Structure 1
Amino acid sequence: MATVYYTIPPPVQLAPYIRFFWVLESDQPAYLHHAMADVCPELVFHYQGQFDEVKANGRREKSSISGLQGQTSHTSRFQINECFGIFGTYLYPYTLSLLFGIPATEIVDQYTDLNGLLGADGKRLEEKIMGAADNGERVQLLSRFLELRLKSISSRDSSSAICASMHLIMQSGGCIKMDALAQEACLSLRQYERNFKELSGFSPKIFSRIVRFHKAFNAYSPASVNTLAQIALECGYYDQSHFIQDFKQFSGLNPRHFFSGKAEGLDWMRV
């Protein structure tokens, strides 16, 4: 099997809240995972094996079996020395605020145990996900759980102006004027920035920078012949130096090393 990574689309009724489900599995005796800055939070379930988080000083701390990775502006490293299987749910930035009433600013740059986050409901969900026969059943279980949450908060408007503007920023690759978005939302720029941060965890400027970084990150292809200057231009950077600065900040890697295909901890991208 080596390393396997794939995504699964969500049910139509959950598509405004979930970008996709994902699965990462490996039978390698050792695996290093390099996580990067991201505007989207994730629900993560380790149904086989358990990773350690590798701290900056090299110390390793055991991560929880299930939890929520909040949207983050920095990088993390995780390691495991056995076969593993992970089931994840890649959410939109506003989903946790809308479905669970959790302020985005409280989970930014945090990994929270699912039991601590959702109490008894989190414990029951974890037990069901761990006991599922396969990832198809895990998708069904988590979809039902989130659909129940959706019914309980039906009064909240998932198509609000702020949510819509987040989609516009992501669709534009982070290249859109904030004053235009504020005007579209019928808010002053200050009101827009405050409301945006409450729902996304980031200011519109930082949010857009991370989205633009992801556009550059996703430009990776083993067959690509584009120079760093070409990638920077295509992704809306003013110049190559701004591109390199952002890429280092949000990935912890020099883009030249990343685009060489030799960076460690990114095996899932190459499968």
Structure 2
Amino acid sequence: MNYQTFEPHTDLAPLVSCYWTLEVPAQKEPERQRIIPDGCIEMAFILGDDIKRYTSKDEFILQPRAMVLGQTIQPFYIEPTGYVNTFAIRFYPYGFANFVAIPIKDLANKETPLGELFEENKAKELEQKIIQAKDSKQRIEIIEEFLLAKLNNKTIIDNIVKQTIDALLSTNGTASISTILKDDLSKRRQLERNFIKQIGVSPKQLGKVIRLQTALKMLLNKKAENLTNIAYQSEYFDQAHFIKDFKEFTGINPKEFLGNENMALSSHFYK
């Protein structure tokens, strides 16, 4: 498995977290991989063989080969049908809303083909350029030209939404909404409404995902001796609270996560 990340252009850095590539040789018996919510929206191009996304235990769809994966609040399984070769753009929680006119909530918990978000001909042209590019450097140049051309200065993320996300990110998801807004109920209603529209999930849900990501990285990088220390350093009320949230977003408990073959891909993504 070859997973690499690349930094965005400085003009896009406030909106784009990174570009990433993933290559995995075809396997005789591919393992389903459980993908965990990370609070981000991603645009992905499948350059290898098709990838299944399971909608139930035995039913699946084939992911669009050029798509945007919206905010997710539950884990889901994917499974390669052969050789994996993916190029993707990971946006910050408030990043992608600057490139499209539709409410971000409409993208939540599903894959949306690029042709439904941008002009069909332009989306197809972009996909073909990405496919025909000779390497990751050229693909990054192509997607950055596209994104910079699409960047709409009139599309401004609500200031309260951005302040809330910045506060959640700077505190690893532990800041309370009441503290951020200083108990201003009128602002809270506005925040809830605009957050769902522009981010795709509620402030509370995003905060829980960000805090879990902090704990998950500590678990993967062995930066704490045990689950109790991870829970304490991640500011969970106690170990039971940490395990409850972990199960909610991953479907298993922390001890089962480590060494689980179904979590190999997520382990690479979130280290």
- TM-score if structure 1 supplies the norm length? 0.90
2:246 is aligned with 1:243: no
CA-CA distance at 1:180 after TM superposition: 2.9
**Could you tell me how far apart the structure 1 residues matched to 2:218 and 2:204 are?**
21
- Which residue in the other structure is 2:227 paired with? 228
Contact kept in structure 2, 1:169 and 1:175, CA below 8 Å: yes
Counterparts of residues 1-271 of structure 1 (less than 5 Å): 3-29=1-27, 30-118=30-118, 119-150=120-151, 153-157=152-156, 160-183=159-182, 188-221=187-220, 223-224=222-223, 226-258=225-257, 260-267=258-265, 269-270=267-268
CA gap of 1:180–1:143, structure 2 versus 1, over 3 A, is same
Identity of aligned residues (%): 25
Indicate the larger mover: 53-62 or 42-51: 53-62
Q: How far apart, in 1, do the equivalents of 2:184 and 2:169 lie? A: 16
Check whether the contact 1:161–1:185 (CA below 8 A) recurs between aligned residues: no
1:27-60 deviation digits (Å, cap 9, x = unpaired): 1413533211232110011111111112322223
Distance 1:127 1:99, change over 3 A: same
SS of the counterpart of 1:67?
strand
Paired residues in the alignment total 266
CA gap of 1:61–1:110, structure 2 versus 1, over 3 A, is closer
Supply the RMSD in Å over aligned alpha carbons. 2.2
Secondary structure of residue in 2 paired with 1:61: strand
TM-score (norm 2): 0.90
Are the equivalent residues in 2 in contact too, given 1:165–1:181 (CA < 8 A)? yes
Say if 1:183 and 1:69 are closer, same or farther in 2 by CA, change over 3 A.
Answer: same
Contact 1:42 1:90 in 2 (8 A): yes
On the 8 A contact 1:237/1:243 being kept in 2, the answer is yes
Segments of 5+ residues of structure 1 without an aligned counterpart are none
Q: Structure 2: which 5+ residue stretches go unaligned? A: none
The amino acid that maps onto 1:125 is L
The residue type equivalent to 1:163 in the other structure is: K
Q: CA deviation at 1:190?
A: 1.8
Deviations 1:1-49 (A, max 9, x none): xx11111010000011101001111114135332112321100111111
* 3-state SS in 2 of match to 1:188: helix
In the TM superposition, what is the alpha-carbon distance from 1:263 to its structure 2 partner? 4.5
